[in-house]
Amino acid sequence: MSGSIFGKNFAISTWGESHGPALGVVVDGCPAGIPLNEEDIQRDLDRRKPGRSAYSTPRSEDDKVEILSGVFEGKTTGTPISMIIYNKNQRSQDYGDIKDVYRPGHADYAYDQKYGFRDYRGGGRSSGRETAARVAAGAIAKKILCYLGIHVLAYTLSIGHIEIQPSNFDVDEIYKNPLAMPDKEAAIKAQEYLDELKEEGDSAGGIIECIIDGVPSGVGEPVFEKLDAALAKAIFSIGAVKGVEFGSGFKAAKMTGSENNDPLQVDDQGRVYKKSNNAGGITGGISDGSPIVFRAAIKPTSSISIPQQSIDRTQGKNVEIVVKGRHDPIIVPRAVIVVEAMAAITLVDYLFQRILSRIDLIQKALQ
């Protein structure tokens, strides 16, 4: 299976399955001399791990990370950083009933068509559990970005039809409520909505918004390697994502040019700024110095306890399936930190690439 490596200058390679002994990641291209320990990684993993609230799967995993290489005496060495997370609470027997039946909304059928084989124990590599490895790598990328004055913040913008109100925006609420919503009132309404769906055996989707502050202008390549294209690829690689938009996004299709263009201005110190940010901080595939803003649409959890129509792969018959096991009624809150991780990994990769784009930057790097 190819496709488990992401990035060029700062690259990650994830491995492992949902119900295997462990999963992990190798990070290649991390500079030497960065203070790093397992606690730095664990903080982000704890935001993603299951069993933290009534709105995540009850599968109980500590998700304790162990650094195997690339760190010595508390600092990165410049060599590949390998990390492992052991699976300790997998219950593969929960999936015995679907060994020969494809789950609607999952990759079961597509995997079988491609490989002639599928790991039915929770989906194998297609399981959302794979994202734990990404979060571990993303924690390192975010630490690098901190040295560069860049901050990545993602949060739940909406769940179902319930959306946060800008007037109620409170960053602290992202870490206080179980839905990662920066609006306490919206979070309460969303919890009531999810409680109703759980009672019915159904699930919900939502939208994650990400804001990246501090990215300098000039990051990104103007043709096939545009920064927004790279970020979109990174975010779309998260299994539950079904749509990505930057700035005004799809609303731009209904705007006029005079409404959508971002007027340029110069302040008293001679610094260029934009009066609006419909471009979402990226113009022509290159960062323009404004905050990068994008949103990701997350589908409802595919595993639901409502009877669904499917087929038996061995007999070729139409059957009815009720998915058993331990599943999230909503994916969005746990995916917030995954979006942050993939955005950070992409940015570090492209920032390293920017150094190679001009001779003066190369000279400065070698001084």
pLDDT tens for the chain, 367 residues long, are 678 999 999 999 999 988 788 999 999 999 999 999 999 999 999 999 865 667 766 555 688 999 999 999 999 999 999 999 998 865 545 555 677 888 888 888 888 888 887 777 667 777 888 999 999 999 999 999 999 999 999 999 999 999 999 999 999 999 999 999 999 999 999 999 999 999 888 999 999 999 999 999 999 999 999 999 999 999 999 999 999 999 999 999 999 999 999 999 999 998 888 999 999 999 999 999 999 999 999 999 988 888 999 999 888 899 988 887 656 789 999 999 999 999 999 999 999 998 887 788 778 877 7
C-alpha to C-alpha distances, 251 to 44, 144, 247, 259, 263, nearest whole angstrom: 33, 34, 9, 11, 18
Supply φ then ψ for residue 96, to 5 degrees: -60, -35
This prediction's pTM = 0.91
User: What pLDDT shows up at residue 316?
Assistant: 84
Reported CATH class of domain 5-366: alpha beta
User: What pLDDT shows up at residue 340?
Assistant: 98
Domain boundaries, the chain: 5-366
Q: Are 47 and 134 in contact (CB under 8 A)?
A: no
Two tokens, residue 169? 């925006």
In sign, the C-alpha dihedral spanning 189, 177, 201, 338 is positive
CA gap 36, 325 in Å, rounded: 36
